[in-house]
Chain A
């Protein structure tokens, strides 16, 4: 719980929900007859809402990107390091919108919502959603909020993929694009990790083909394993060594299978707390969206061609120790943009924290991102 709200926080935030009645045709061929999107906003919109910024979330995040929901909140939103008055995404200048994507479990329509056709929760019947679908639904939300074109669309990891898709699908509605710790498509290794996560969930005896809620249970062990695996891959070897080393919890080896090393204890804690706040079916959907993302596939597998109509100014950032979304993947994006003569700047931030670095207040990262955002401030105040 915060004793008091820090001065550079957006403060206490109440999410809002937008209901959509018009059916949404999805890439998978199915249609959502109606749906909700839950979102938060920070800062004030100017008269023509030209200062609006969209924040796209990553795999296990949601609409709560900054500030607190109540004084009882233990932690602020997931990107509080970057969003707030005087911060890199300065809410003194920008009107920031952050939403929970379709298929999520935090208030937007997803597997835990009621399927209007049956009156029961969707569970595994919620359709597969893709990055392209998300971007489309985000554009519909923008319509409803009266935002013609985003001053910037910003995201890390899976969020960065949404930013790329925005620049391809709606080149006239995105003036600036920040793609952080992301990739133009997953590697086979990455898809492999996702598949192991999904298998952990789907082979849990309490998974019940995804209908676990009808059985009044949750595939806790599977979801926990998926999170533990994910967590290992989001950190670097160095970061884990620095955090835990081979430190023993009781100071001695017990020659058993209980928790002995601190890292085991940490991973179990992370896994367990994830089970309490995340839905297994949503995890399956989100990892599939990651796997399917490949905007170049529609353009002869040529990323340059895919990005040829983009018009945004781009910022691409990677982190040196991120092996799941390695710097080389960001350089592929940069190459494709440069081949098109697009405005792009790229920095590879020296950081030991692995993929998770994009959520941390690393000075050089904040400097680069902040310099780029200061250009955006000039644009909105011009």
Chain B
């Protein structure tokens, strides 16, 4: 098996073995498959794309077709231990509501998103005068699925306003490696943010 993407590796280190996990926008199920195989978690993925659903089922991952923009009203009772969402927060219609939903159906939430405060974005906007196009945010402004981009500062502000306590934060670059610079100046040098949080 090929090596796990480092951001998924970081997430899997935060997850307790044997816990109940929901992965919002689970893609082809890579993370859940890894968590099932290594940590014996009981997991469900939520996914909208039918080809991804086929991939999940093919690899034996429980996947439920759902549109995250419709919220998680289908999920009541029996709370999950962790609700994970990688690289989807910036693409949903109501990221604030979804964050709250994550903590309604789960004890802890984990999200990853591209940091719009990264220096390359700032430079493109400041000196190029155009919406940033980067390796992590490759689309043009008019065709991007990412409709709610934010910086680390923005995200932490949103959490504070919603009574959400951040337990851990890690920032990595686009090859998902962490470095000293990123630890010192995360909002400037971190390309991808990974947060773990719960209700205060």
Interface residues in chain A, defined as those with a beta carbon under 8 Å from any beta carbon in chain B: 304, 315, 331, 334-335, 338-339, 341, 343-350, 364, 367-368, 371-372, 374-375
B77 at the interface (CB under 8 A from A): yes
A341 CA to B62 CA, complexed, in Å: 10
Q: How far is the CB of A70 from chain B (nearest CB, A)?
A: 37
Q: Which residues of A contact B55 (CB under 8 A)?
A: 371
- Tell me which residues from 77 to 120 in chain B have a Cβ below 8 Å from any Cβ of chain A: 77-78
A223 CA to B57 CA, complexed, in Å: 42
Look across to chain B and name the residue whose beta carbon is closest to the beta carbon of A331: B74
Q: Which residues of B contact A345 (CB under 8 A)?
A: 53, 56-57, 61-64
A87 CA to B151 CA, complexed, in Å: 49
> Is the pair A375, B60 in contact by a Cβ cutoff of 8 Å?
yes
A341 interface neighbour in B50, B58, B78, Cβ under 8 Å: B78
> Is the pair A335, B53 in contact by a Cβ cutoff of 8 Å?
no
B54 at the interface (CB under 8 A from A): yes
A347 CA to B78 CA, complexed, in Å: 22
> Is the pair B65, A346 in contact by a Cβ cutoff of 8 Å?
yes
> Is the pair B57, A341 in contact by a Cβ cutoff of 8 Å?
no
B33 at the interface (CB under 8 A from A): no
Q: Which residues of A contact B57 (CB under 8 A)?
A: 315, 345, 368, 371-372, 375
Look across to chain A and name the residue whose beta carbon is closest to the beta carbon of B50: A364
> Is the pair A339, B64 in contact by a Cβ cutoff of 8 Å?
no
A71 CA to B51 CA, complexed, in Å: 38
A253 CA to B131 CA, complexed, in Å: 61
Q: How far is the CB of B85 from chain A (nearest CB, A)?
A: 18
B44 at the interface (CB under 8 A from A): yes
B176 at the interface (CB under 8 A from A): no
A346 interface neighbour in B64, B75, B78, Cβ under 8 Å: B64
Q: Which residues of A contact B51 (CB under 8 A)?
A: 367
B40 at the interface (CB under 8 A from A): no
16 A-B interface contacts by CB (under 8 A): A304-B77, A334-B64, A335-B74, A335-B76, A338-B75, A341-B20, A344-B44, A346-B64, A346-B65, A347-B50, A364-B54, A367-B54, A368-B50, A368-B54, A371-B57, A372-B57
Please give 11 more A-B residue pairs, beta carbons under 8 A apart, in addition to A338-B75, A364-B54, A371-B55.
A339-B78, A341-B20, A344-B44, A346-B65, A347-B50, A367-B51, A368-B50, A368-B57, A374-B58, A375-B57, A375-B58
> Is the pair A367, B50 in contact by a Cβ cutoff of 8 Å?
yes
Given A364-B50, A368-B50, A371-B54, also A338-B65 (CB < 8 A):
no
> Is the pair A347, B42 in contact by a Cβ cutoff of 8 Å?
no
A334 CA to B63 CA, complexed, in Å: 11
> Is the pair B58, A347 in contact by a Cβ cutoff of 8 Å?
no
Q: Which residues of B contact A350 (CB under 8 A)?
A: 50
Question: Closest 9 interchain pairs by CB?
Answer: A371-B57, A371-B58, A346-B64, A367-B54, A371-B54, A347-B65, A364-B50, A345-B63, A372-B57
Given A374-B58, A375-B60, also A347-B53 (CB < 8 A):
yes
> Is the pair B62, A343 in contact by a Cβ cutoff of 8 Å?
yes
A344 interface neighbour in B53, B62, B74, B77, Cβ under 8 Å: B62
Q: Which residues of B contact A339 (CB under 8 A)?
A: 77-78
**What 1/0 flags go to B35-70 for Cβ under 8 Å of A?**
000000010100000110111111011111100000
